[in-house]
Amino acid sequence: MKNYVVSGAANGIGKAIVLSLVREGHQVFALDIDEQNLNLLKLEAPKQIHTYTIDVTDFRAIERALLPVVKEQTLFGVILSHGIDNEHTISENSIWDRIIATNLTSTQRLLSLLCPAISNGGRVVMISSILGKVGRKNNSAYCASKHALLGITKALALELAPQRITVNAVLPSWVDTKMLREGLAQQARMMGNTVPLLLKRIGKRIPLGRLISAEDVAGSVNFLLSPAAVMITAQSLVIDGGDGCGV
């Protein structure tokens, strides 16, 4: 049994990662601000999943919750899956600040606390986004935060290499999650369409013929955590069903 910390664990990709880890017999310290769904997640494996309802921008709360874990446990892996998005123009400073604080600054704070507890040969995986490689109108803060995660991935990989700890990023494209559906809802209303119709259209344009599932992403994370990936570090793994390979 190995110990993992997973942030953004209550829904979507984070939840799928937690469930895949407990199926393999591991112990997971799961973080999220969504207390209700975090409690439901714990019911899946009460003895293996330890939940912490935390706002990742509240650094004192993070320390209070995780310092005992760091002192008492040796971690094999840290998977950072938290993040928010909100369409905005470049002049909307408050939205920029909130997204950068949640997606980027909190990542540094979590890593500064957790990395010393990772065992030699351990793993760090960051859930970035395809928007860590490209841009999108009215999403400058989200794009900036996801681009920045790739820089952290490369720099931290070099920093932790002497301990044989690998650091990689996963870049999903269109993942069918609650976050995506909420983001499409406004578009659907403006276009006079429905969310299911938009999802169907997106799936059709992906070469492999469907949207990515949270479980698809979890499977790729599992690979990066496995012995097969022991010499893979500082890399960005795109999961897009071939969506970015043509025009």
Q: Which of 235, 116, 113 is nearest to 171 (CA)?
A: 235
Residue 12 phi/psi, 5-degree rounding, is 55, -130
Strand order of the sheet with strand 27-32?
49-53, 27-32, 3-7, 75-80, 118-127, 166-172, 236-239
Q: Which of 242, 243, 169, 179 is nearest to 214 (CA)?
A: 179
Helix (H) or strand (E) holding 211: none
- Amino acid found at 230: V
Which candidate in 4, 29, 76, 142 is catalytic? 142
CA pair distance 194, 212, nearest whole angstrom:
19
**Pair 78, 115: CB distance under 8 Å:** yes
Annotated active-site residue 142? The verdict is yes
Helix (H) or strand (E) holding 221: helix 214-225
Q: Which DSSP string do the residues of 63-110 spell out, in sequence order?
A: HHHHHHHHHH--EEEEEE---------TT-HHHHHHHHIIIIIHHHHH
| Catalytic residue positions, numbered | 142
